Amino acid sequence: MIPREILKKIRQIELRTNRIVTETLAGQYHSVFKGQGMNFDEVREYQPGDDVRAIDWNVTARMNHPFIKKFVEERELTLMLVVDVSGSGLFGSRDQSKRELAAEIASVLAFSAIRNNDKVGLILFSDEVEKFIPPRKGRSHVLRVIREVLFFEPKRRGTDLNAALEFLMRVQSRKAVTVVVSDFIGSPAEAKNERSRKLRPQMMLLESLAQASFTMLKQANRRHDVVAVQITDRFELELPPLGRLVLRDAETGEVVEIHTGDARKRGAFAERQAKAQTDTARLFRSAGIDAIQLRTDQPYGAALAKFFETREKRRLRG
């Protein structure tokens, strides 16, 4: 039996995100995410304005009259949500955590998908694949996806995007719209480096998970349509002037004391974090992956709408 407070939270997310789907993203999901290809539909007589490249020359020769092959788009898609449930996702300095925002983004995309009769699947990962829900259709299935993103309790706290992408490649052979939702903090390669472990709590840099997983991201994007959604919190980008703080790393458990009263140190921190964000965005572009950067303290509807509009313009340009 699912507790009432959990059902209430899921229902609130459904109502809030369905409004965004209806008012902001209506029709855009369908136009920017394409199906598997074109399927043969029928042969019919040529009409003025038809593409001459579609002429069926065998039928035309037999009938002594031009006929064309008509194709229809194989519309049905699979949306795979690959969501980071590592320890850092629990952080949030305002009204919601990064994990809660991830659940809302998953909800918006999943409800957009089922409105187009597409399937939705889910992979939850930390430094291993924690849970896999195979793609299915329907509202009840989407509500389960939202519940798992929001309330699933992972066994581990670290992050390994490579493990999630390798699993995706094994279980999803056909092309899918694959949305990776993560803060992209933490790198398995850097975690093995003693110097990096010492620097991490002192400098609090946004270590680029994308950097460590660059090869796998490119490989996954060759088979699938990969979109990265990076979620950060304002205090991961700029330190508040609160004096001396004791901070604990949610993934490693390391504790560090820092002094935020120095404006120069806060400025240097903000510059490093901004550069890390820019570097991560550049990595996604070089891998041919579209990316959306969101913050827990800012509305996400406009950012999603801009993403869909940009993809639509690019599609129309051909």
Specify whether the CB–CB gap between 41 and 68 falls below 8 A.
Answer: no
State pLDDT tens for residues 166-184: 999 999 988 999 999 999 8
Residue 145 and residue 167 in one domain: yes
Residue 64 and residue 86 in one domain: no
Give the single-character DSSP code of 116: T
Specify whether the CB–CB gap between 6 and 148 falls below 8 A.
Answer: no
Residue 198 has pLDDT above 50, yes or no: no
Residue 64 in domain: yes
Residue 31 in domain: no
Residue 138 has pLDDT above 50, yes or no: yes
Residue 157 and residue 217 in one domain: yes
Residue 122: count other Cβ atoms within 10 Å of its Cβ.
25
Range of the domain at 56: 41-72
Residue 211 in domain: yes
Residue 113 and residue 163 in one domain: yes
> What CATH number is given to the structural domain containing 102?
3.40.50.410
Measured in Å, how far apart are the chain's first and last C-alpha atoms? Answer: 50
Residue 40 has pLDDT above 70, yes or no: no
Give the single-character DSSP code of 48: T
> What was the pLDDT predicted at 73?
57
When the pLDDT of each residue in the chain is averaged and rounded to a whole number, the result is 84
Residue 219 in domain: yes
> What was the pLDDT predicted at 185?
79
Residue 35 in domain: no
Average the pLDDT over 2-29 and give the result.
Answer: 84
Residue 135 has pLDDT above 70, yes or no: yes
Residue 83 has pLDDT above 50, yes or no: yes
Residue 165 and residue 271 in one domain: yes
Distance CA 227, CA 176 (A): 11
**How many distinct structural domains can be found in the chain?**
2
Residue 269 and residue 309 in one domain: yes
Tokens of 297: 């303290």
Residue 132 in domain: yes
Residue 189 in domain: yes
Residue 75 has pLDDT above 70, yes or no: no
User: 31, 54, 72 — which closes off a domain?
Assistant: 72
Residue 34 in domain: no
Distance CA 133, CA 124 (A): 9
Distance CA 92, CA 99 (A): 9
- Residue 60: pLDDT band with limits 50, 70, 90: confident
Residue 283 and residue 230 in one domain: yes
What is the Cβ-side half-sphere exposure of residue 116, based on CA atoms within 13 angstroms?
27
Residue 28 has pLDDT above 60, yes or no: yes
Question: Of the candidates 189, 200, 206, which has an alpha carbon nearest to the alpha carbon of residue 255?
Answer: 200
Residue 150 class from Cβ within 10 Å (0-12 exposed, 13-18 middle, 19+ buried)? Answer: buried
Residue 152 and residue 125 in one domain: yes
Residue 200 and residue 308 in one domain: yes
Question: Of the candidates 127, 220, 128, which has an alpha carbon nearest to the alpha carbon of residue 179?
Answer: 220
Between 288 and 198, name the one with better pLDDT. 288
* Coil, helix or strand at residue 119: strand
> What was the pLDDT predicted at 189?
42
State pLDDT tens for residues 111-121: 999 998 999 99
Between 187 and 146, name the one with better pLDDT. 146
The per-residue DSSP string of 178-206 comes to EEEEE--B--HHHHT-HHHHHHHHHH---
Going from the C-alpha of 297 to that of each of 169, 233, 238, 293, the distances in angstroms are 34, 7, 13, 12
User: 72, 93, 120 — which closes off a domain?
Assistant: 72
> What was the pLDDT predicted at 41?
58
Partner residues linked to 74 by β-bridges: 37
